[in-house]
Structure 1
């Protein structure tokens, strides 16, 4: 059963070495992520699953100890999904970027509260499949927590990765309300096609969360909402 969740943005720029001279710009987001992880630790889960979107080839489950890297972004920073993975048990696949950011956040928070796993879901995964995946995760243990990595639209300004789209701000506002209210119905109703057009990579992970939280009776709190670089970033807790 899902007992808690934290929603965090997934840009590699959260890692100060990747952000370089712009590291301070996401300082408030990093602080909010740390606060959200404290809520997860306080829930005393039996299992924590990090959920993030990925390319189809990188989708699937990752074990504790799986490794990731930010070398593709020009910095020699490597991460690991918690301890474990000795003798190759964690597998050879590298964590996709969203999960690598999640692993960095957990390492930064010195997570040691529960066993870890990760699930990379394809960005284009349909809503019904996302909800089913969430239900399966919630059934994995008596007390399950999720760290859900994902961004809102990437079309909030003319300098955004997807340029300016007038639909982006309303889409992000709806997502923010759903995350603040722990509204699983509203998250499940997010339009997958529109999310794809707006480059909102968080849509699929958020809908996995919606499936996991069905019937759990959790309350939500929005800790951070902003659109630096023209991309919608949110930090929220459900508990």
Structure 2
């Protein structure tokens, strides 16, 4: 059963070593993520499941101790998902989950075993919801760390250029996350999300499925669009 959730953005720029001289620009986002993780710890979960976007239309599981790296961004920095060791054959963490691992290392997470699930950005909403139900059933007390960005089309210099539909989409996603509005999250348009380069749509809909039958309260801790990309931080508890 889901007892708590934290929603965080997943740009590698959250990692100061990657952002380099621009690191202070995301200090507020990092602080909000740390606050969100404290809500997860306070819920005393029996298991933490990290959910993040990956390419494709399927799901990929990653064990505790899985390793990731930011070498692709010119930074020799490795991270590990939780304190346990993973088999040498474990796949490297994709960037969304590597950022999550960095966030957990940053706060010294040791409150519950950790595992991760990469969710394809093209996974249909109904499958996302079913996946969330399955995740919530893995333990009597499950917490989710849900990684994903809103649109990448908020300004002319954004990765996806300016799209007038981006700001309304992000505003509705932010409202739904802050209000724990499961029907609204489930109804987010997958095709439009793809056009707006929203990486968080599928993970948010997994969260909606996991939260079915619960009575959680939500709080939106951070909402901004630095670099023309929507970043949201929210907590459910």
- Identify the TM-score tier after normalising by the shorter chain: over 0.9
Equivalent residue number for residue 66 of structure 2: 66
Cα root mean square deviation, aligned: 1.1
Structure 1 segments of 4+ aligned residues over 2 angstroms from their partners? 56-59
- How many Å separate the matches in 1 of 2:27 and 2:53? 23
- How many Å separate the matches in 2 of 1:58 and 1:193? 16
- TM-superposed CA distance for 1:55, in Å, is 1.4
Give aligned pairs, total: 237
Equivalent residue number for residue 130 of structure 1: 128
CA contact (8 A) 1:158 1:164 kept: yes
- Of residues 196, 208, 220, the one that matches 1:222 is 220
1:206 aligns with 2:165: no
- Of residues 228, 231, 234, the one that matches 2:229 is 231
- How many Å separate the matches in 1 of 2:90 and 2:100? 18
- Of residues 89, 110, 134, the one that matches 1:112 is 110
1:162 aligns with 2:160: yes
- How many Å separate the matches in 1 of 2:57 and 2:126? 20
Evaluate the alpha carbon distance shift between residue 201 and residue 115 of structure 1 in structure 2; reply closer, same or farther with a 3 A threshold.
same
Partner SS state of residue 131, structure 2: helix
- Structure 2, unaligned runs of 5 or more: none
List per-residue Cα deviations over 1:109-162 (Å, max 9, x = no partner): 100000000000111000001000000000000000000000000000000000
- Of residues 183, 186, 191, the one that matches 1:185 is 183
- TM-superposed CA distance for 1:58, in Å, is 8.9
CA contact (8 A) 2:57 2:121 kept: no
- How many Å separate the matches in 2 of 1:222 and 1:182? 10
Equivalent residue number for residue 48 of structure 2: 48
- How many Å separate the matches in 1 of 2:183 and 2:59? 25
- How many Å separate the matches in 1 of 2:231 and 2:20? 19
- Of residues 169, 172, 180, the one that matches 1:171 is 169
Evaluate the alpha carbon distance shift between residue 58 and residue 15 of structure 1 in structure 2; reply closer, same or farther with a 3 A threshold.
farther
CA contact (8 A) 1:63 1:85 kept: no
- How many Å separate the matches in 1 of 2:45 and 2:11? 26
Partner SS state of residue 103, structure 2: helix
TM-score (norm 1): 0.97
Partner SS state of residue 21, structure 1: helix
- How many Å separate the matches in 2 of 1:109 and 1:220? 22
- Structure 1, unaligned runs of 5 or more: none
TM-score (norm 2): 0.98
- How many Å separate the matches in 2 of 1:57 and 1:228? 28
List per-residue Cα deviations over 1:77-105 (Å, max 9, x = no partner): 1000011225x26x431000000000000
- How many Å separate the matches in 1 of 2:85 and 2:205? 29
Partner SS state of residue 4, structure 2: strand
